Structure 1
Amino acid sequence: MNYESHMLLWENTHAQVRQIQYVEKVNTDVEMILGHSAILIVIEGDMNLWLDEIPYHINRLAIFHIGKSAFMHLTMNKPSTYYLLYYKADVVYTDACIQHLHMEHRPFHKNFSCVPTNPIAIDLLMQNMYIKWKTGSFEEHLTVKILFYELIYRIFHELTEEQGKPHPIDLAAQALMYMEQHMDEAFTMQKLADSLTISSRHLLRVFKARYDMGPQQYLLQRRMEVAKQHLQKNEHTIKAIANHLGYEDEYYFSRAFKKQVGVAPSIYRTTIDTTPQFDSVLSEPLIGECKERVLQMKAQEKIRKQRVLQDIQSSFLQRLLHRTTTAMDKRS
């Protein structure tokens, strides 16, 4: 990301703070598509954040710029405190260069992050901004705008001077996503590590630290859970289920299933254990589920906007018809 270009665009930006939310010590999960650009400032706690398809695990003060129309999903691992600041901004075109940069970078639609070197200063800045915002007075809201620009300056100053760093992506969650997306393929842990551009040893370390098991063990358990679901439905042959889960050999799949579950898949199918068995890791929001929710929410938002537009058009036509009728009555 070209931070210098973004700073130049912000220098020519007219911004308006639309809302500041302060959420303190909560365990409530949040899921939404943002109607405005926003800045999320996590003060304390432990949470998982998904921005579109990118996962983060946050346990310290961190700042996230979230672009307009982005999908945000927050899950709390323990009570957390954060600010969510919504704003509306427009770039003032002073010349063709600014217009070109705006079209190229679209700064208010970008997702990026910063772990500041001076978290206390950011915390105090947000406290001051929120107190002034709550007053509702014009004078204090003018001060809020000044403080907002100071926040933007601090973020980009740290990133351009390489003092603050972007928040690292949650590699463990990314590995989990990869396995969910490629469960029907035969792949090695080395291939998984290569997809994340890390070593297999580092992959094992971060995944085990997060989920208390190695990625290979997780993949095996997950495949067996999916296999049990298919066996309970009794719609496919064991060979088809094995191929669907990345096993080329039905015999090898049956051995792995018996070792993990305790009985062969053919016997399991006859007993049909209807009790769902899901590992706690599976409660983690998966990328497929997130994508589906994004599409649903965007479709609902599109329908809502269409209805609003139809209402406006209908109201306009009614007023126009009324005026026309009134004018004709007067003439007659």
Structure 2
Amino acid sequence: MQEEEVSQIFTPEMIDTMARIWTRSIITLIDVRFQNVAPQHPLEQYKMPSSMFIYTYGGEAQIQLNETSFGMERFGLVHGGKGSLLSISPKGDSVKTFMVLYKAELPFLFKKHLQQLLEHVNPFVQQFGYTPSNPILLFDWFQQMMNGWNRGKAMDQLQAKSFLYQLIHGVYRDFAGGEIRYLQPDPACSAKIYLDKHYRESIMFQEIADMFGISGGQLTRLFKKKEGMSLQEYLIQRRIEAACHDLKHTEATIKEIAIGSGFADEKNLFRMFKKYYKMTPSDYRKINALSMQVDGIDNDSHHLYNERELVSLVRSYRDGESTMFGQVRRKEMILAAAMSLMLLLSACTSGAPANNGGTVNPIPEQTQQTTQPEVSQTRTISTIKGDVQVPNNPQRVVVDYLIGDVVALGVTPLGVARVSRGETEAVFANQITDSIKIAMEPEDVMTLEPDLIILAWGDENYENLSKIAPTIYVPYGDMTTEERIQFIGGVLNKQEEAEAVLNAYAKKIEEAKLALQNEGLSDVTITMGEFSDKSNYIAGAKHAVGELVYNQLQMQAPSKVKTDIIDTDKYWGDISMEVLGAYIGDYLLSIGDTVVPVDNEVWKSLPAVQNNRIVTVGTSLSWSTDIMTSSALIDHIVNKLVELAK
């Protein structure tokens, strides 16, 4: 750890704050142990049952806490919080180790004040390692602490506890003196090690910062200074790197690869590929599949995150398009041949006189004079993919995700995307009984001979679908409900219907807010998410249900949900059961087909659970953002909340 970075972590103000917390907290000494760790029998992945001080001496060793590795030469003092994984690996001779286990609790009198201090720095979970300025004095304290503790008498254990406080004072005195050598690495290095190992999992950067007892902002600043990029940028790069490997070497679907690489969903993976690679994951897979067939081409020689290299990849893809999509080109030729045959047959069977002997009967002069110019049958729609010519009155519409929007505008789709869940229970199920359920793959869509395709999910197929029929891509995640309905209304030439649908929806929102107000529910706090014994995912305002509740119905979120999830623009927050209570509001919305953890004591202690203020939002109402589903979701939530309030 560099000296200037150490001074930024243990500033005089921070040391003073930590001392205040120690002074006013209730400290319980749990145990004092001694262990001789030999090279042939290292201590590996010991899960610390409480906060601990570990003092080692006698030789060179590698001490690891979670993802942080400390290199010790002769003496080393390390501290970590409960649940940390401790490993000690001597490099030569055995090393002798003292372990002091303690527990810290907040007294009732100062609890609120101390909680505010703990939000800035938590000395009980703080992770650090250094060579003490007076290692012999520390050895004496640890030895007397262990001797007193092992004698078992109250006075002896009281003396052992006094040595613990002397130890803490000595540590902070060393910090304040600034003339000690910290054991490597620094938080930025450790954060990188952690991300390299856990990038496929849901990650909260504050949890990494908590390992060192520093703020998330401080960790971000240190990481960016060392690595030249933010924590988020590095995490995305690691996930994209994993996705690239899977795209090249597996047959997994895009969705499977997205989830397996750590992305929230495939849409997120598409967006990041567009940003970094200027292509879709499917395009990347096709390019690499082809180039890997050519001898002498080393695919792995490309630098994954070098924009200049990526441009060349995209250029080679565009130039070689006819080769890469040979199968699609052949299908286009088949369609063209079929169309030519249809035109030929229509000419043979029409009422026009036959062509006999090469003589063509002329069109009567009067007909030529009275023929009017044909009115245009298409319109131009501006989209993020460019201008698209669409039919004035589309009759054979295929739509993938926003089915409820299309149905609400009075159009029954010819084909709809086959969904994995919620289809049979969807609020528009009765309106699409005659619609054909298909996968949104070019081969399946082609069989329906559509005259318009509305695509809102999986835009990696956009280019191929646009060769079959005019294709409109709807970036629904970047649009408000009003913008989306007006846009789709313009595409379908249903502008008046769109206005009527939006007016009805706005009226529903106002009526819902009034109903909540009349029952005194306007100011209550709402928490929504998926809850279970193993994990709790709290939804933010980017989630479909969260956007409706927090942004449209303007209901209140608990302060922790707002600061940790909504204000940081997160879709979900992965919250452990131990701290779940801080994120729970007056009412709970349980999203999806989850199993409520009724046997968990923390769960049972929540006021919302004790008062039975839980509203279940099933899969059919939470999987889509279309306006029909949103309308039904408003009715469901408001009715259930009003019912519970009464």
**1:247 is aligned to 2:301:** yes
Does 2:130 correspond to 1:118? no
Residue of 132, 135, 147 corresponding to 1:131:
147
How far the C-alpha of 1:87 sits from its partner, in A, is: 0.7
The answer for the alignment partner of 1:167 in structure 2 is 183
Q: Counterparts of 1:14 and 1:41 in 2: how far apart (Å)?
A: 23
1:61 partnered with 2:75: yes
State the distance in 2 between where 1:46 and 1:196 align: 30
How far apart, CA to CA, are the structure 2 residues paired with 1:177 and 1:8?
32
Kept in 2: contact 1:51–1:71 (CA 8 A): yes
Q: Does 1:10 align with 2:22?
A: yes
1:19 lines up with 2:31 in the alignment: yes
Q: Following the alignment from structure 2 to structure 1, what is the Cα–Cα distance between the partners of residues 71 and 291?
A: 38
Report the 3-state secondary structure (helix = DSSP H, G, I; strand = E; otherwise coil) of the residue aligned with 2:26.
strand
For the Cα contact (< 8 Å) 1:93–1:99, is it kept in 2?
no
* 126, 139, 157: which one aligns with 1:141: 157
Once the two structures are TM-superposed, the CA of residue 248 in structure 1 deviates from its matched residue by 3.3
Q: Is 2:28–2:102's contact at 8 Å kept on the other side of the alignment? A: yes
> Does 2:114 correspond to 1:98?
yes
What residue in structure 2 maps to residue 71 of structure 1?
85
- Cα shift at 1:124: 1.1
For the residue of structure 2 that corresponds to 1:149, the secondary structure is helix
Kindly report which structure 2 residues correspond to 1:223-242, keeping only aligned pairs within 5 A, or say none: 239=292
Letter in 2 for 1:41: Y
1:108 and 1:26 map into 2 onto residues whose CA distance is 29
C-alpha distance in structure 1 between counterparts of 2:178 and 2:108, whole Å: 29
Q: Which structure 1 residue ranges, 5 or more long, are not aligned? A: 182-193, 199-229, 231-235, 250-301, 303-308, 313-332
Determine which structure has the larger helix proportion and give its number: 1
1:15 partner letter: I
The 8 Å contact of residues 47 and 85 in structure 2, kept in 1 or not, is answered as yes
| Distance verdict in 2 for CA 1:93–1:242, change over 3 Å | farther
Distance 1:155 1:80 in 2: 21
Structure-2 residue corresponding to 1:29: 42
Matched residue, 1:151: 167
CA distance in 2, matches of 1:104, 1:170: 19
Residue matched to 1:324: none
The change in CA–CA distance for 1:142 and 1:237 in structure 2 (over 3 A counts) is: farther
- Assess, with a 3 A threshold, how the Cα gap between structure 1 residues 112 and 103 changes in structure 2: closer, same or farther: same
CA contact (8 A) 2:71 2:183 kept: no
C-alpha displacement at 1:45, in angstroms? 1.8
Q: Equivalent residue for 2:396?
A: none
Q: 1:247 to 1:154 in 2, by over 3 A?
A: same
- Does the Cα contact within 8 Å between 1:116 and 1:163 map onto a contact in 2? no
Equivalent-residue separation in structure 2 for 1:64 and 1:44 (angstroms): 15
Tell me: CA distance 1:89–1:247, structure 2 relative to 1, closer, same or farther (3 Å).
Answer: same
Select 2:100's aligned residue among 77, 80, 85: 85
Q: Secondary structure at the match of 1:64?
A: strand
C-alpha displacement of 1:25 = 5.2
Q: 1:102 to 1:248 in 2, by over 3 A?
A: closer
Q: 1:101 corresponds to which letter in structure 2?
A: L
With 54-63 and 138-147 compared, the bigger mean Cα shift is at 54-63
Q: Read off the aligned partner of 2:42 and give its amino acid letter.
A: D
Q: Which amino acid aligns with 2:98?
A: Y
- In our comparison, the structure showing a higher alpha carbon Rg is 2
CA contact (8 A) 2:70 2:129 kept: no
The alpha carbon displacement at 1:94 in A equals 4.5
Of 49, 64, 74, the residue aligned with 1:50 is: 64
> Which amino acid is 1:134 matched to?
N
Structure 2: distance between partners of 1:237 and 1:77? 49
**For residues 126 and 144 of structure 1, what CA distance do their matches in structure 2 show?**
9
* Cα deviation digits, residues 214-256 of structure 1 (max 9, x gap): xxxxxxxxxxxxxxxx9xxxxx99959964xx4339xxxxxxx
Q: Is the 8 A contact 1:69 1:109 kept in 2?
A: no
Shift of 1:120: 0.7
**Are residues 125 and 311 of structure 1, via their aligned partners in 2, closer, same or farther at CA, if it must alter by over 3 Å?**
same
Measure how far apart 1:93 and its partner are.
5.3
Per the TM alignment, residue 154 of structure 1 is displaced from its structure 2 partner at its CA by 0.5
Q: Cα gap change, 1:138/1:48 in structure 2, threshold over 3 Å: closer, same or farther?
A: same
Paired residues of 1:40 and 1:82 also in contact (CA < 8 A):
yes
1:266-307 Cα deviation digits (max 9, x unpaired): xxxxxxxxxxxxxxxxxxxxxxxxxxxxxxxxxxxx9xxxxx
Q: 1:263 is matched with which residue?
A: none
When residues 12 and 177 of structure 1 are mapped into structure 2, their CA distance, relative to the original with a 3 A threshold, is closer
1:295 alignment partner in structure 2: none
Distance change (3 Å), C-alpha of 1:92 and 1:59? same
Separation in structure 2 between the aligned mates of residue 6 and residue 70 of structure 1, nearest angstrom: 20
1:150 aligned partner, one-letter code: Q
Distance 1:195 1:59, change over 3 A: farther
Q: Report how many residues are paired.
A: 204
C-alpha separation in 2, matches of 1:93 and 1:163: 37
Give 1:113's aligned amino acid: G
In the alignment, which residue of structure 1 is the partner of 2:542? none
Q: List alignment gaps of at least 5 residues for structure 2.
A: 1-8, 198-222, 228-248, 250-288, 304-576, 578-597, 602-646
Paired letter, 2:31? Q
Cα RMSD for the two superposed structures: 3.9
Q: Does the Cα contact within 8 Å between 1:4 and 1:160 map onto a contact in 2?
A: no
Residue 38 of structure 1 corresponds to which residue in structure 2?
Answer: 52
